Amino acid sequence: MNRTDIESWYRGMQARFCAGIEAIDGSASFRSDLWEREGGGGGDTRILSDGDHIEKAAVNFSSVWGETPVELTESQTAGNAAFYATGVSIIVHPRNPHCPTFHANLRYFETDGGSSWFGGGVDLTPYYLYEEDARHFHSALREVCDAHDVADYGSWKQECDEYFRLPHRGEARGIGGLFFDHLSSRLDEVWVFQQQLGDRLLDAYLPILQRRIDVPYGESEVRWHEIRRGRYVEFNLLWDRGTRFGLETGGRTESILASLPPGARWEYDLEPPDDSAEAKLLEMLREAPRSWE
């Protein structure tokens, strides 16, 4: 396991995921935007826009290095003179409100102090609650974790539930998934796990898209979709560590903010009607995290 192998695999994962999303959309394709970072490194931001089924998707690879910025808040990188980071991040915003938004990030860090570690996460943000979709998603993640001694589905699900919350709203962002960081021991085994997790992401998400992509919807569902996308924007701009890390290390702003949806709205003090599908979603987001097994 070395930087070159890790970067190569991340690039391959980017290509495979893009191909899977293009196939399910059927009309649009990703465009590649290569960029360089002042100070060292760069990346490949791939964007799909205005597809028949996918309104926006971003699948980004980056490999950056250089002097550690003094304002960097990443706990294990701060205090070191130089850092190296590589990874792939994915965000998919479908057009149909009945299709959930998908997010994943897999990453690897090194410092000149000799420390290195893996991190990552994957989560799902529905706008209408389909419990069978939630069970499918979490079952796929548990299967990968259960196959590896270095993985801990129960603990990482809890971390994800705690991380992807909007504390100022008292709401979860979605149904969670996995969140893990600073895995610094048994790195070769962790790397094998991370590759297998990356290979399963399409299996975890695409069947859900295929089930919901043609569900009929109207203006009221679009309005609700945009309102809930507003919550997604709030989390990414106020709380997301990846957004903060990218900005603090001089990353490319367009690539960092590519995770934002193409359209969102904010309406004052909105509460959906009791017993509506929208109210059912909110009830779930405001209660204690569920087990989806």
Q: Please, what's the largest Cα pairwise distance for the chain? A: 56
Contact 112, 80 (CB under 8 A): yes
* Known active-site residue 103: yes
Question: What's the helix, strand, coil split of the chain in %, to 5?
Answer: 40, 25, 35
Q: Which residue has the tokens 């709401």?
A: 171
Contact 119, 182 (CB under 8 A): yes
Contact 89, 69 (CB under 8 A): no
Rounded to whole angstroms, the Cα distance separating 50 from 113 reads: 45
Q: Which two tokens stand for residue 28?
A: 């649009």
Distance from the Cα of residue 197 to its chain's centroid: 13
The number of CA neighbours under 13 Å toward the Cβ of 242 is: 32
Catalytic residue among 103, 136, 138, 225: 103
- Who contacts 185 (Cβ-Cβ below 8 Å, separation ≥6)? none
Residues annotated as catalytic are 103
